[in-house]
Amino acid sequence: MRATEATRIYFDAAADQLDLSASMRRLLLTAKREVKVQIPIERDSGEIATFIGYRVQHNDARGPLKGGLRYHPQVDLDEVRGLAALMTWKTAVVDIPYGGAKGGVAVDPAACSTRELERITRRFVDAIHDLFGPDVDIPAPDMGTSADEMAWIMNQYGKYHGFSPACVTGKPVDYHGIPGREEATGRGVGALTLKLLGRLGHRIPGTRVAIQGFGNVGTHAAKFLHDAECRVVAVGDASASFYRAEGLDVLETLRHARERGGRLAGFTGGDSITAAELLAADCDVLIPAALGGVLTTANAAAVKAPIIIEAANAPVEPDADAIFADRGVLVLPDILANAGGVTASWFEWVQNRQHYQWGINRVRQELDRILGEAFEQVWRLAQSRQVSLRVAAYMLGVGRVARATVLGGVA
């Protein structure tokens, strides 16, 4: 299913509950601006390579546009459009003063050298520097990008507009980033998992967790849940997946991946399983933290976990979501589950603008508070309206954006 179609289905369910007019729906679903640019670079070999970059600025009714930048070979306009809308609802669910945007470059970062990635990033900024900035649109890392790309973005943007650290978030800590940003999405996933388990009356120590994706989000979620005494029984990435019923040695998996450029392949502390087996692993909580669209009608029936935490963006397709609802599998939706990253990005932006630095404890404290409040609001709405956590989260997000749109005035 196309990404925009998937987010549209959830939007419609919330809009029905909110009784939004057809004209308001059309306004909220239409992106403010979409750009597609050519990114030519010189390869290390001297050859010319041309990539395509996208930025979709969906909605800024509640504040400057905010959203990650993804480097992946399958990036296309439809995917970026769907993810940009998700950002609009996400920033509204956690009630931070931003709108939603997303960007991407159709490139396989694993097939590029660091210098080539730097050239791609700088050329992309050359192409769109007039369209983003601290009060306009603030990119951040996403799949395939890291703090390095954000540093290059800040530096290249500064060549046009002067010193502007707040033009991008997720920067290296020693280059205007903040401690706690890198871990924030995974930490938030972990903290919200504990909140949900608590609400359901589950005992946390010993809870069996399976995690697909062992990059930024997956590793930090694994570490947080391990520290909370959960049992991480399965982890997997693009290179391999592993299972151990007694629980994997999480610190060992992290060390293994760190020493091998982030890849799990070759790990010997668990049984090797397939990617499909990981999603169907015998566990209490399944955390897809890699790609979108991994849980579909083809594999939803095989999922054994009674709880799914959407750490990735859009990992559960709408048809699979309906199957999970029928089976009583509880899904904590992406627009809440992975909102820790954008929330900490907001902290970074605030500090950059004030030229001031908080300590890590303050970052964690504020993050836990904001996510905790959003969770309670979504939980209560789901209970009172007898809707899924996803529909409740969309109702909260879409409702806030609709109100800001009316307050700001359309004409």
Q: Which is nearer to ligand NAD, 64 or 213 (CB)?
A: 213
Minimum Å gap between C-beta 39 and ligand NAD is 19
Alpha carbon distance 344, 346 (integer Å) = 5
Q: How far is the CB of 296 from ligand NAD (least distance, A)?
A: 13
Binding residues for ligand NAD, rule: CB under 6 A, are: 141-144, 185, 212-218, 236-238, 275, 289-292, 311-313, 338, 341
Q: What is the nearest approach in angstroms of ligand NAD to the Cβ of residue 47?
A: 26
3-state secondary structure the chain: CCHHHHHHHHHHHHHHHHCCCHHHHHHHHCCCEEEEEEEEEECCCCCEEEEEEEEEEEECCCCCEEEEEEEECCCCHHHHHHHHHHHHHHHHHCCCCCCEEEEEEECCHHHCCHHHHHHHHHHHHHHHHHHCECCCEEEEECCCCCHHHHHHHHHHHHHHHCCCHHHCCCCCHHHCCCCCHHHHHHHHHHHHHHHHHHHCCCCCCCCEEEEECCCHHHHHHHHHHHHCCCEEEEEECCCCEEECCCCCCHHHHHHHHHHCCCCCCCCCCCEEECHHHHHCCCCCEEEECCCCCCECCCCHHHCCCCEEECCCCCCECHHHHHHHHHHCCEEECHHHHCCHHHHHHHHHHHHHHHCCCCCHHHHHHHHHHHHHHHHHHHHHHHHHHCCCHHHHHHHHHHHHHHHHHHHHCCC
Judged by beta carbon, residue 200 or residue 276, the one nearer ligand NAD is 276
Min. distance of Cβ 62 from ligand NAD in angstroms? Answer: 18
Query: Shortest gap between Cβ of 409 and ligand NAD (angstroms)?
Result: 31
- Between 197 and 287, name the residue whose CB sits nearer to ligand NAD: 287
The active-site residue, picked from 32, 36, 66, 102, is 102
Examine the residue annotation and report whether 102 is marked as an active-site residue of this protein: yes
Our CB check for ligand NAD shows the closer of 6 and 15 to be 6
Q: Please, what is the minimum distance in Å from the beta carbon of residue 100 to ligand NAD?
A: 12
Q: Name the closest residue to ligand NAD (Cβ).
A: 215
CB of 257 to ligand NAD, least distance (A): 8
Cα separation values, 155 from 123, 125, 158, 175, Å: 12, 10, 5, 10
- Is the Cβ of residue 144 or residue 165 nearer to ligand NAD in the bound state? 144
Residue closer to ligand NAD by CB (options 165, 340) is: 340
Cβ closest to ligand NAD, residue 169 vs residue 351: 169
- Name the residues annotated as catalytic: 102
